[in-house]
Every structure is written in structure tokens, then in C-alpha cells.
Structure 1
Amino acid sequence: MKYKSVFDIIGPVMIGPSSSHTAGAARIGRVARDLFGREPEWATISFYGSFAKTFKGHGTDVAIVGGLLDFDTYDERIKESLEIARSKKIKIKFIEEEAITNHPNTAKIIMGDKGGEMELTGISIGGGKIEIIELNGFVLKLSGHHPAILVVHNDRFGAIANVSNILAKHRINIGQMDVSRKEKGKMALMTIEVDQNIEEAVLSEISALPNIVQVARISD
């Protein structure tokens, strides 16, 4: 999910006139796809603030669905993403929300299939940059610009240290780490941005640890 140049964001291969409303939206959709781990069968996408007012004119709807289809920001297929989604029988619903949010370019995606569903909220902060601020009710701050792993775990002593030890054993450097929990002693979420892509074997090792519920990754 890297840009080769500024033209990958605002140039002719990118839909729409605004990097915030198109490239940023595509990145939000693609991070959601990465964390869900597969192509969804349906998605309900709610736009807030500026997104809600201009999403059709600026191609925000097309871009965010392109991200859900795993298209990068400079992929020309983004222009046909709504048609491609329909051809795959992916049900897409857009909602223009009137609620006021902390950031004008906010999108909430609820997506799923027969195997489950996921809810994610992201903001586009300009120049194609984004932050994921909520995942399944957990508050977080994830840029999507670096490889990362998200670990859902029981809020127990030693859970964080065990994950850190595995990353250290594999010589994986942690760039940023945040922990969020809904309630003391219940479920918690580790968000760990790292300096390199995480191999499947490392994810499996983390998944096998005590108190680990689910592990997902975002690759560079």
C-alpha cells in the first residue's frame, strides 16, 4: 500500500479530484479488507461530515469499495469497483449520516459473510493518509501505513509480554504499540505496528499463546 509518487494519489489513474476523499477512502476500505481477512459478501458503509455531503461527486463510494475489493490506490479497476462488486454479488449499501463526528472525513464500515462480521471506523486526514480509530468497539489509532498485527486477547497478566517476546525472538522491531480494553479483566486489543511484514508462522505462534482470541495482520 505504498505510493510511487504524488500522481498515484491525485493523477489520472486515481479516481476523483481529492486525495482525502478518494485515496484515503480506498485505504480505509483496503485496511478493512486486510483485517477481515477475506472478501466480504456484504458491506454497509456510513459516511459522515464532508464524506456524506460529497461522496458521489468525489468518488468516495467507488474508492472505498475498491479498497474492499483489495485494489490499491493507483489500481485503475477502482473506477469500476461498484460494477465489479455487483458482478461478484457483493451487496453494498451506503448511508449518509447526519451525526457530527470529531473528523469531517469519517467512514464506518460494517461488513461480513456467513463466517462472521466486523465493524471498523476510519478517518481520512489528508494526502491519502488515514487513521483507523475504532474496531469492533475497541478504540485504537492505526495509520495503515506500516505493517501491523492486531491481537484480541483476554485481559490477563502476561498476555502482552508473551506477544512481545515472540516478536523479539523473531527479531521483529515494534514501532508503536497500543492496548485498548472495553472493561478491566475482559477482552482487550493490542495494536502493534512493526518494521516488517509478519510471516504466517509468527502469527500462528502468537495465536497459540494462552489468552489469545484472534490475530489479524496488515501487510505493507
Structure 2
Amino acid sequence: MSLRIGDTAPDFSIPTTKGDISFHDWAGGSWVFLFSHPADFTPVCTTEMGRTAQLADEFAKRNVKPLGLSTDSVEDHIKWIDDVNDTQNTDLTFPIIADTEHKVAQAYDMIHPGESETAAVRSVFIIDPSKKIRLTMTYPMSVGRNFDEILRVIDALQAGDKYKIATPADWTPGTKVIIPPSVTNEAARTLFPQGWDEIRPYLRLTEVE
């Protein structure tokens, strides 16, 4: 069965480029950006790993730990990291899982036989500090991920948790948010003393930051 939003992210123990980890213990009280790639020493994957490394400060300020994964070995990962750093002008320090037996890829439904029987597609799991899956995205092997969108959805999830709001299409931090229909006007007056614009009874917009 595929994992769904709201499910607890399966725990696992596995070798990585930073030594063996037990996933839930390693995650601790942080959010996790768990993402798979098809293979080391391939062009799209190299740019994605490089971009993740370049965004280290952006992930850190959001309390997010990146965690890569492919079915290659630790030895191959370590050799490849030198190429990533060289070609992408960065310093990759986050761990990359060596899922040589496909245990994590199978648990997280990262191997899609229509693409490959052995290599993972480009899966994304955003996992919160309680180990709940909050967002999933899946890209084909030929399409690199949009990291602006990955950061945006993390911001949206964290803003939702903090302010009890929802976010409209194309929302970015600093723009108006939605007061959910489940929040009565009476409760909204306490939660949102700054007030709101009522476009419709079900569509109330406010500012939170």
C-alpha cells in the first residue's frame, strides 16, 4: 500500500554517507526533506544534489534536514559527491542513503516499474517533527525538481501549523492567507485580531506575517 499524507513515516536503519542512521532518531525534532534520485553520476541528479547543498542555510533556518536516497552504494555516493561539489560549486554535507537492497525505496513506494525495476524515481516526502508525512511529490526520472516550490510548501506547512491557516494558490510568505471555513467568525476574532477581508462567507483573507 502506498504511503499517504498523515501516515507515520516508516522508520528504518540504513547505511549513509554519514554512517549508519536510524531514521526516526536521526530526524529528532526536525522536519525532514527525504528525496530519492535514480542514480549517481547522472546529470539531472547531479544538479539536484548540488541545489540541495546550495540551499543548506535555507533548509537549516526552517529546521529541515535534507536526506537523499538512491540504490547505489555508499562508496559510489562518496565518489560522486566530489563530482557534485566540483560541477555545482558547492559543499554537500547532508547524508545520502545507500539503499542497495531497496528496502526503503520499497517501503516508500519509490520504485515505479514503468520507469525502472531497480532505480528510484524522484520522490519527495516532507515529514514533520512528529514523523507524520505532510506532503508527497513524485517526478519522473527526466525532470528535475523545482526547489523554490519545495521551500514554498515547507513554508506553507509551517505557517499553517503556526497560525492555523490555509494558503491560496501561488502563496508565498508575506502574502495573504486563508482563514479555514472550519474556524467560526467568533473564533477567528481571537485568532486573527488584525481582522480579515471577507470575499465570501467561506473565503476570508488575512495577513499573519
Q: Same fold (TM over 0.5)?
A: no
What TM-score, normalized by structure 2, do the two folds share? 0.35
What TM-score, normalized by structure 1, do the two folds share? 0.33
Higher strand share: 1
